[in-house]
A and B are shown apart, each in its own frame.
Chain A
Amino acid sequence: MSDRALLGEEINKETESLYKKEKKLGEGTYAVVYLGQHVKTGRTVAIKKIKLGNMRSGLDMSAVREVKALRELQHPNVIELIDVFSHKTNLNLIVIKDKSLVALAHCHRSWILHRDLKPNNFLIASDGQLKLADFGLARDFGDISRNMTSQTVTRWYRAPELLFGAKNYTGAIDIWAMGCIFAELLLRAPYLPGDSDMGQLTTIFSALGTPTEAEWPGMTKLPDYCRPLNALFSAATQDVLDLMGQMLAFDPAKRITAEGALRHAYFTNSPRPTRPAKLPKPARTIAEDSEPRKRPLDDAFDNAEAPIAKRPVDLRISSPA
């Protein structure tokens, strides 16, 4: 007890002294990511420095949300926040480098909505494990008396209830995004790339058909062209189409949950998923680049990680015999 600092400011200084920054990996609009080291153990870390100096209202909401969510979530498939410290007016998050649905089920079980699921926010660690990251839009949910914004989630992954302006929603919005990512993995191209908020709805309806009143009670029936799933995904098995269909159900109440999706036959029927360590990895890593490149934050999070979007990995490639 006596050798441990008691004061908040001293604890912060102690934390800061544990790490040293080595080189810049990338820069985004509100943060810079550095490659760093835990001084004593030599463990490689990523340091995400959030610039707050010119925020008029102090600590900004996305920093508050990210720190709040990550301090609570401890799971092998959620990016690990080891430490946080502030220096002058910067906030520094020390992170390490799922199975996506496992990570999402864990978030929902902890009553946290991610609200920005897209391929760029899934990182692959050096051991092949998938890590869910970027909790800047995350918030807790479940309080029906409080409204939430419908202006969330990157457009291509935004659920129809959000596009219709719903202020009360659930984990179903994260599942919709996961359904889009699932389809993107098979197509190797974004599944529902709308060009505007209204165009997004049109894109969804032309791909999945216009929802009927029976499918989604409360929605008025509109006549429109309907293309069934299996015409586009000609090589997909029935399990794939069934799970994707359930993840992309129009009525959020009927959409499968993360826990439910994990129990789907797709994950148990043959072919079995490849073990993380056997998954193909990009040949060149960011750390090997001599020049730090200016890229979006999510793309430059760790020396040994690459975003799925850049190199789509089909999670079901069977392992080499």
Chain B
Amino acid sequence: MSDKRELFEQSSQFRHWRYTPSSLSALRAANNQQGIARVRQSLLAESSLDGNSARTAEAENNMLTPADELGLINYYLQKIRDYATVYKFNSTVKATAITFMKRFYLHNVVFDYPPKGIMLACLYLATKVENSFVKIDDFTKPLARTKVTNSDVLDYEFVVTQSLQFDLAVHHPYRPAYGFFLDMQTYVEDITVLQKTYELAQKYIDQAVFTDLVFYYQPAQIALGAIKLAAVETRCDVDQYLTSQFDARALESLYPILDNVQEEIRKYQPVSMKEAQVIDRKLILCRNPEKNPSSSLYKSKNPEVPYVSDSDSD
């Protein structure tokens, strides 16, 4: 047991991507403030360029709050899941892409990089990381209707990997959940009930990966919380297993964690398209022109697009 814990502690996930609820909200608030300051600066620079100062007032009335940013990010996290289902990518690819995007916005703001573009770059990178590589042409083919080009995906690849600080390995609760399921078969009498519990737990894990639980707890803890939550519904007794595996002191620290995990999963609410549209409309007015390829400020600073991917022939 101690050996396994040491191993997880070596992972980049443990070393670089752990937060408490308060440190996480402080970080997001600081990002949001700095983001707003940069938008103001760029708008000023742009108005001196083209004499249009009306945009500044519009932007001031529509600045996104940290909650707005999170709402829009969460909406597009759901889109990752939808896209990944269309492509038939497995749950690991989905969860890795979702985690990539959650981590990306700890080092970026929606003002600079709207999640709509980042979402595809995260999903494409996740296919490579999780050994499910597809050629870029095959990846964008199903998106032809939405006019997504190869460079719409690849142009963001560097800013995404930089923001992930090149930590590409992500651990999810799916595998530990399977391990617990195998382990518990010795302790739970009715295997069909256990099977049902495991299947339900996987659905709860699908929800958990959208939440901030991934920044608070280890994958095995989230897995166990999801199993506990499922077990309540299927009336499966998993406590006997827990008491056989952990001593009283360990259980004392484990139970509050499992309670929190269950609580967060229960609380999870998807963002509706309507809510997202409201935020999206505000974003059009307060987007940072410095990072917006269609703004006059961007065009004056970046006379030509550097990426060569679309023109070369492989």
Contact = CB atoms under 8 A, between A and B. Distances in A.
A17 interface: no
Interface stretch (B48-56, B223-231, B257-265, B305-313): B305-313
Contacts of B308: 53-54, 89
A109 interface: yes
Contact of B165 (A11, A61, A88, A139): A11
Contacts of A68: 129, 168-169
B157 A9 contact: no
A71 interface: yes
Interface residues of B, number: 42
B167 interface: yes
Interface string A42-57: 0000000000011111
A67 interface: yes
A320 interface: no
A74 B7 CA distance: 10
B161 A110 contact: no
Contacts of A59: 125, 128, 157, 161
Interface string B119-142: 000001100110101011000000
B10 A74 contact: yes
A89 B151 CA distance: 13
Nearest to B307: A89
Interface residues of A, number: 35
Contact of A6 (B31, B104, B309): B31
Given A6-B31, A72-B11, A72-B12, A57 B135 contact: yes
Contacts of B164: 8
B293 to A, nearest CB: 16
Interface string A1-33: 100001111011000000000000000000000
A143 B34 CA distance: 43
B309 A56 contact: yes
Given A8-B108, A9-B159, A54 B168 contact: no
Interface in A189-217: none
Interface in B266-306: 306
- Cβ-closest 9 pairs across A and B: A8-B163, A68-B168, A84-B166, A12-B162, A8-B107, A57-B136, A58-B154, A56-B314, A8-B162
11 contacts: A6-B31, A7-B112, A8-B159, A57-B136, A58-B153, A59-B125, A64-B128, A67-B166, A68-B168, A68-B169, A72-B10
Interface of A: 1, 6-9, 11-12, 53-59, 61, 64, 67-69, 71-74, 84-86, 88-89, 109-110, 139-140, 143, 146, 148
Given A56-B309, A68-B129, 19 more contacts: A6-B27, A7-B108, A8-B107, A8-B165, A9-B163, A12-B162, A55-B309, A57-B135, A58-B309, A64-B125, A64-B128, A64-B168, A71-B12, A71-B166, A72-B10, A72-B11, A86-B158, A89-B307, A140-B169
